[in-house]
Amino acid sequence: MKIRALVHTKKAVAVLLGAGLVGGGVAVRDSLGSDHQDTAITELNPQVDITDVWAFPGSSDDRIVLAMTLASPIVGSSTLTGQPANFDPNALYQLKVDNNQDGVEDLVFQFSFDQLANGSQTVDVIGPVAPRDVGAFGNGVRDAFSTATPAIRRGAVNSTLTANLAANGAAQAGTMQVFAGLRDDPFYIDLEQFFRIIPDRRPTQGPLSQIGGVIPPPPGTVAAAWRPKCTNGTPNAGQTQYDQTRGCAVDFLRGFNALAIVVELPETQVTQGRGNGQVGIWATVSQ
């Protein structure tokens, strides 16, 4: 489990954020930082690599947005390993909500995808609904779908879904919007400098392993040059991504995409009048 951030939304709804990678899932209490490519498994399977979990105010004061991003960095519509940037049809993606502060999910949103065909995918959405089983492998909601389960939303990836689908497939009005697809990665990090400071966090293989050169370089080779440093706040030659608002830091992920799953809905559907408006939010991917 990697803990992401503490976010306070409007109307004093405090949100503790966390993310679990493929089968992870523990109580969320603290908030630390973000992480990409945590393990060799996720490096080789970026579609299940949760990079960040987000919560922020929605389009009006009484609405909230919950989101997870995965598989960053993506160039256009392909990961850095050259794989198509699509959701894994064999995985169950979940956003989970604890609204009574006991560290156990009270509500889940479940997202599943069909096989990529002609560059397109379809997403099925269930929730928010109380799960029959809790924990990383709590797939009971999806397995037990019936007329008693809240409506599924179904639609094309990279489109905004606004209508519900009843169990019989009929469309009906809904208050939740869902998006699943590619979005510019909003996380700000100077990844090259991060690897300079903490070199053991750089992957040992794949494209990210070559950022800033290899430390130490393999025998008989010369490490690639680091990006020129700043001098008194002024970028040196070759520092093309200099951001005037961030001193000499570089927004490395600017221009890279991530797979995003985003939900906007009324805050009351998340808090349910419990927990004094404080909720815990985390995400899991199960295969």
pLDDT of res. 218: 46
With a cut of 60, say whether residue 147 has pLDDT above it.
no
Is the CB of residue 249 less than 8 Å from the CB of residue 192?
no
The total number of residues written for the chain in this structure: 287
pLDDT of res. 68: 93
Question: What is the pLDDT of the chain when averaged over all its residues?
Answer: 71
d(CA 181, CA 262): 9
Burial (CB count within 10 angstroms: exposed 0-12, middle 13-18, buried 19+), residue 143: exposed
d(CA 100, CA 271): 8
pLDDT in tens, 162-205: 766 555 555 455 678 899 998 888 888 787 778 777 877 777 76
Phi-psi region of 193 (alpha: psi -120 to 50; beta: other; left: phi over 0): alpha
- Between 237 and 7, name the one with better pLDDT: 237
pLDDT of res. 108: 92
Domain map of the chain by residue range? 2-187+254-286, 191-246
- Between 58 and 230, name the one with better pLDDT: 58
- Grade residue 29 by pLDDT with cuts at 50, 70 and 90: very low
pLDDT of res. 46: 76
With a cut of 80, say whether residue 53 has pLDDT above it.
yes
Is the CB of residue 164 less than 8 Å from the CB of residue 131?
no
For β-strands 160-161 and 177-184, DSSP reports them as antiparallel
Specify the range with the lowest mean pLDDT, choosing from 99-108, 141-150, 169-178. Answer: 141-150
